[in-house]
Structure 1
Amino acid sequence: MSTSSQRANGIPLLRFWTRRYTGVLIAILLFLGVGAGVWLKVNGERQSFQILQARAEQLSASYIRSMEVLQSPLSSSQSGSYGSSSTPATTVTPATIATPAEIVRPIAQDFMQLFDEKGQVLVNFSSLDLSLFETLVETPSTIEDVLNGKTTKEKIKMKKSTWLRVGIPLHDRGEVMGALYLSTPAPEILVENIETYGLLLLIIFGIGFGGWLVIYHLSRKLTLPLHQLTEAAKQVSEGNYAPSLPATTNVKEAELQQLFSSFEVMSSRLQQLEQMRTDLLAGVSHELRTPVTSIRGMIQAVQGGIVTGDTADQFLITSLEEAKRMQKMVEDLLDFASLESSAVHGDFILLSLSEVVEEAIQQVHAIEGFKDIEIDVSSAIKPLKIVADRGHIKQILLNLFMNSARAGATTIMLSITFENKKIHLDIVDNGKGIPEQEIPYIFERYYRGDSKKKMKQGLGLGLPLSRLLAEANHCELVLVSSTPQETIFRLLLPIE
C-alpha cells in the first residue's frame, strides 16, 4: 500500500481525539454513575436497617414495660401465660386478644418474634399470612448471638421477596431475658429513589454533553493550527516555498509558536537551497560547457592544421589549463561529498604550523594573479606544533588566501592568540569585505553571492569545504567580522 493511500485511510485528527476523549469521559461518567447507584442502594439498605433497629428497640422497651405491668400484684393472675419457657408458642393476629400483643404491636407489614432466655419462641406477631413466609417463622440461626447480648442484622431472600431482619436482646435489670426479632420487607431502592436516580441520570447526561462540547472545542482549537501546518507542508511539497501560515502573534501556545516559526525558517531555507541548486546547475553547466567547447575547438584547430607552430603550442597549453580547471571543479565536488559523508579521514601527525603556513604562501604566490599579494605572518607562530593533516590545513589556508585576493585584498596578516586551550589563528585582509546580507550564507554549500561577478566564480564550495576540513581535524573555522575595510576569519586549532 502506498503512502498516499495510507494517508487517505487515516482518521482526521479532530475526529480521532474527540472520539477518544469522549470515550474516556463516558467511561468515567458511567463509572461514577454505577458507583453512585451502588452507594444509594447500600446507603438505602443501611438506613432501612437503622430504622428497623430503632423500631425494634422501641418495641423491646414497650415489651419490657408491659412485662413489668403484668408481673405487678394487680396483674399477677395474667402473668403466668407469658415469659415462661413452658408456655407453648402462640401466633398472634389482630383478632387474638393478648395483653403483651395489645401493647407491643409492630406496623402493618412487619413481623415480630419474641424468644425467652432459652431461645424458645413466645410470640410470632404479624398482620400477614405467615404461611406464605415459612422461613421467617423458623427460629433464626443468630438466636445464640442475640441471647449473648449482640445485635444482629441479616437479609433473608425468599422466592418472591427479600426481608430485612434485626435481632436485639431484651434486657431486664442488666440481664438478658430474651430476644426480639423484627422483620420487614426490603424496600425497593430503585422505586423509592426514582426521582433521585432520574436526577442522577440527568446530571450525568448534562456533564457528558457539556464535557463533549468542551472536548470538541479544545480539540478543534488544538488541531486547527496543525491542519494549517499540514496544508502548508503540502504546498511546500508541491514547490510553493512561501505557504500561507497564520501569524505567530495570533498563536498563544509557545510550542505552536515555535513550530510555526521553525516551519517558516525551514521553508525559507528550502527556497534558498532550491535557488542555490538551480544556480549550481546553471553554474556547472556554464563552467563545464565553456571549457569543453573551448578545448574541443582548439584541439580540432591543431589537429586540422588550421594553427601551427607557436600558436598550436599555445592552443594546447590553453586546453591543458582548461582541463586542469575542469579537473579542479570535479575534485572539489568529490572532496566535498566525501567530507560531508565523513568518508575521508586525515593523516594526523605532529607538524609545525609555521611550515604549513609557509607552504600555503608559496603555493598561492605561484598562482598567476596572486603573486602580488603581501602576506605577513606573526613571529609567534614559529614554535607552535599541532596534530593535524598537513594537506587539509594547507587547503584551508589556500582557500582563505584566494578568497581574500578575489575580494580585492592586497595585504593579508596572520596573527596568533591563545584562549580556552586553543590556538586562535586569525587571517585578516584589507579587502572590500562581505556584504552584510550575505554573511549568514557564506558557509552554505553552492552559495556564491548575489553579484553577477561572483556567480561566475567557481561552485561556491570553498568556504563550506574549508569548514568541513577544519571539523575533520578537530578544528573550527568562523567568521569573526567583515567590513568594507577589513575581514577576519579565525581558525581555532587545539594546542599540543
Structure 2
Amino acid sequence: MSLQARITLMFGLLLIVLTAISGSLIHSFLLDNLIDQQRKELILKGQTWIDKNKDAEELTRSESIAELGRLLVSNPKVEVLLLGKKKKVWFTTLPSSNLNEWMDALERKAEKRKDKNIWLVGGDDYVVVNLPLKNDEKQRLILASPVRGLKDVRMELTQTIFLILLLGAGGTILLSFFMTKIMVRPLGQLVKEIKKVQFRQFSEVKRIPARGEIAEVSENVYSMAQELDRFHEIQRQFLQNASHELKTPLMSIQGYAEGIRDGIFTGQAAEQGLDIIVAETGRLKHIVTEIILLAKLESEEDLFHPSHLSVTGLVNQAMERLHPLSLQRNVSVSMSCLGTDPLIYVDEGKILQALLNIVGNALRHAKEYVEIRIHAGKRQATIEVIDDGEGIPEDLVPHLFHRFVKGKNGELGLGLAISRAIVERSNGSIEASNGSLAGAVFRMTLPLCPPEQN
C-alpha cells in the first residue's frame, strides 16, 4: 500500500471514529435538551393561559378551553388536565380509561424518574408541568407530553445529524486524498533521486522542490550525492595518483636491475644503479608506509592514546626536529604564545607528526620566515603556522587536504591529508588559507583539557 493510501486511510478511520463519538454524544444529550425545551414551552404556554383568565368561571368556559387548545396547537400530543377543588375534573383531553391512572398518579404525586420532570404514568414516561391557578393553589393546570414523541424527534434529528456528519467526513476524506497526493508527490520524486544514488549516478541527482521537512530531506540527499560524487572522484584520482607514484620508482628499480643482470651496467655504472635501486626502494617504502598510515587513521579505532600536553612544548619539539631543514632553507622560525600556555589532551606522537607535516610544508614554501602563533580560547587551543611564501593557488585551496594533491615543491601529496586525519580524529579541525599580504596560513584547533583535568 502506498504512503498516500495509508495516510488517507488512517485519516479516514480517525475521522469516522470522531464522527461516531460526536454523533453518540449528540444522541445522548439531545433527549435531555428536548425534554428541557418541551418543559419550558409547556410552562410558558400554560402560564400565559392562566394569566389571561382571572377566575374559575373564565377558566371553564369553552372560549378559554379553545384558547388553551390554540396555544398548544404546535404540539397536539400534549394532554391537558384542569382540576378544581377537591380534584374535581373541569376539563381534560385524557381518555376516560387513562383518567383514573392519572388521578392515582396525582394522588401519590406520580412515580418520578431520575429526572424530576419525568413522570411514569401507565407504563409511559411523560414530561409533566403542574401549574397552580391564581385564584386557588388547590386548583391546578396539568400539562403532560409523552417522552415517546420526543424520542422519535430525537431519532429523526440524530439521523439527520449523522447524515450531515458522514457527508462532511466523506468530503473531508476526498479533500485529504488530493492534499495528501500533493504532499506525497515530492517523496515519490525523492525516491527516484535516491535510486540514482543506489546506482552511483551521483552527478545526475537533482534538488526536489518541496517545503518543510521534505525540503530539508531533499537538500540533504542532494548534498549527500554531491559529497559522494566528490568522494568517488577523489577515490578515482587517488588510484590514478597512487599507481603513478608507485609506478615511477618501480620502473627505475626494474630498469637498473635488468640492466645489471644483462651486463649493460658494469663497474661504476652498476654501483650507481644499485644506489638508485636502494634509493627508489626507500622512496617506495615511504609511499607505502604513508598510504598504510592514512588508511589506519581513517578506519582503525584504538589507534590514539591521548595524554596531557603543553602546546608550547609540542611546538618546541617540532621546531627542534625541523631545525636542520630551516638551516638548509635559510628560513627563520619563531613562536609566540598569546596568553597562558594551553594544555591539550591528545596523542602526542600523532599530533607531533601532524605539526611536523604542516611546519615542514611551510618551510619548503617560505622565503625568509615562518611564524607559529599559539592562542588559548575558552574550549580550544589554536595553532597558526604562517609563512611569507607565494601562497596557495586559489583553485587548490578546496582540495589541499585531499590525498596525492601536491602544490609547488610538494613531495608525495599525503602529508596534509595525514595531518587532517590526525587532527579530526583528535576532535579538532584544520584549515588553510592565504594570508592578507602574502604567504599561506594553516590554522589547527585542538580541544583543551577540562578544568578538573588541568
TM (norm. structure 2) is 0.73
Counterpart among 126, 148, 151 of residue 164 in structure 1: 126
**Whole-angstrom distance in 1 between the partners of 2:104 and 2:289:** 110
In structure 1, list runs of 5 or more residues that go unmatched: 1-10, 71-98, 366-370
CA spacing shift, 1:438–1:290, aligned 2, 3 Å: closer
Contact 1:111 1:125 in 2 (8 A): no
Contact 1:53 1:166 in 2 (8 A): no
Q: How does 1:131-210 map to 2 (within 5 A)?
A: 131=97, 136=102, 138-140=104-106, 143=109, 153-156=117-120, 162-168=124-130, 170=132, 176-177=137-138, 180-186=141-147, 188-189=149-150, 200=161, 203-205=164-166, 207-210=168-171
Counterpart among 360, 373, 378 of residue 416 in structure 1: 373
CA spacing shift, 1:205–1:59, aligned 2, 3 Å: same
TM (norm. structure 1) is 0.68
Could you tell me which residue of structure 1 aligns to residue 397 of structure 2?
439
Shift of 1:21: 2.5
Counterpart among 326, 329, 346 of residue 373 in structure 1: 329
Could you tell me which residue of structure 1 aligns to residue 286 of structure 2?
328
Shift of 1:377: 1.4
Equivalenced residue count is: 433
Could you tell me which residue of structure 2 aligns to residue 20 of structure 1?
10
Query: Is structure 2 residue 201 aligned with structure 1 residue 240?
Result: yes
Shift of 1:394: 3.8
Counterpart among 237, 246, 257 of residue 288 in structure 1: 246
**Whole-angstrom distance in 2 between the partners of 1:483 and 1:319:** 45
Shift of 1:247: 6.8
In structure 2, list runs of 5 or more residues that go unmatched: 70-75
RMSD: 4.7
**Whole-angstrom distance in 2 between the partners of 1:385 and 1:55:** 95
Q: Which amino acid aligns with 2:4?
A: L
**Whole-angstrom distance in 2 between the partners of 1:418 and 1:65:** 109
Could you tell me which residue of structure 1 aligns to residue 356 of structure 2?
398
Give 3-state SS (helix, strand or coil) of 1:177's partner.
coil
Q: How does 1:245-394 map to 2 (within 5 A)?
A: 245=206, 251=210, 253=211, 255-292=213-250, 294-295=252-253, 298-299=256-257, 307=265, 309-340=267-298, 341-346=300-305, 348=307, 349=309, 352-353=313-314, 355-362=316-323, 364=325, 372-378=328-334, 380=336, 390-394=348-352
Post-superposition CA distance 1:146-192 (Å, at most 9, x none): 9xxxx952153867xx442414253566x742555432333635765
CA spacing shift, 1:189–1:412, aligned 2, 3 Å: farther
Q: Which segment drifts farther, 481-490 or 192-201?
A: 192-201
Q: Which amino acid aligns with 1:285?
A: S
Query: Larger % of helix: which?
Result: 2
Contact 1:364 1:398 in 2 (8 A): no
**Whole-angstrom distance in 2 between the partners of 1:57 and 1:331:** 110
Counterpart among 1, 26, 33 of residue 43 in structure 1: 33
**Whole-angstrom distance in 1 between the partners of 2:282 and 2:273:** 14
Could you tell me which residue of structure 2 aligns to residue 77 of structure 1?
none
**Whole-angstrom distance in 1 between the partners of 2:221 and 2:324:** 45
Larger Rg: 1
Contact 1:109 1:127 in 2 (8 A): no
**Whole-angstrom distance in 2 between the partners of 1:309 and 1:410:** 42
**Whole-angstrom distance in 2 between the partners of 1:343 and 1:424:** 25
**Whole-angstrom distance in 2 between the partners of 1:395 and 1:48:** 95
